[in-house]
Amino acid sequence: MRESRPALFRGRHFRSEVIVLCVRWYLRYPLSYRDLEEMMAERFLSIDHSTIARWVLHYGPILNQRIRREMRRPNRSWRVDETYVRVAGELGRNCRCRPSPYMNNIIEQDHRFVKKRVVTSQGFRSTDGALSSIAGYEAMNIIRKGQIRWLAKVDVVGQKRFIERIFGIAA
């Protein structure tokens, strides 16, 4: 009897649980693709780091898109800002900071997570790769910070189940 797979994972060589696990760990923790390759080898799975990179680039934006409808509504006070990352050693922009320094500190603290992950991944080679990866980083950061309805910030098992449910994997 053949196992029924979600449409999103049909045609993939590895099981959907393994794919989501690798994508989730890469986007959540400061791991490199080669670290994940070694971790999967410890579990007797031979997965190349470039395969994991392709999964992250494919499933990161999908995760980001699917969690948006599950997010809590913001209260009356919220902030919007932009930041920049270097792509292939370029794309630096002239930044203007707000004249009120305390407001800027709050916003810059939120970028800390993304900036840390960019350093760990050793930068980006293309704009498309940067956009896909950062979308996944932001999605995992939203989940980690507890900004999903009915999902507690400290409930790591619940966060794992939420991501599996988002991708249509029966837990």
Ranges of each domain in the chain: 12-72+82-166
The count of other CB atoms within 10 Å of the CB of residue 57 is: 18
Cβ-Cβ contacts under 8 Å for 125 (sequence gap 6 or more)? 87, 88
How does the average pLDDT of the chain come out, rounded? 81
What is the rounded CA–CA span in Å between residue 64 and residue 132?
9
Convert the pLDDT of each residue in 129-151 to its tens digit.
888 888 898 899 889 888 888 88
**Backbone dihedral region for residue 152 (phi beyond 0: left; psi -120 to 50: alpha; all else: beta):** beta
pLDDT band for 16, please (50, 70, 90 cuts): very high
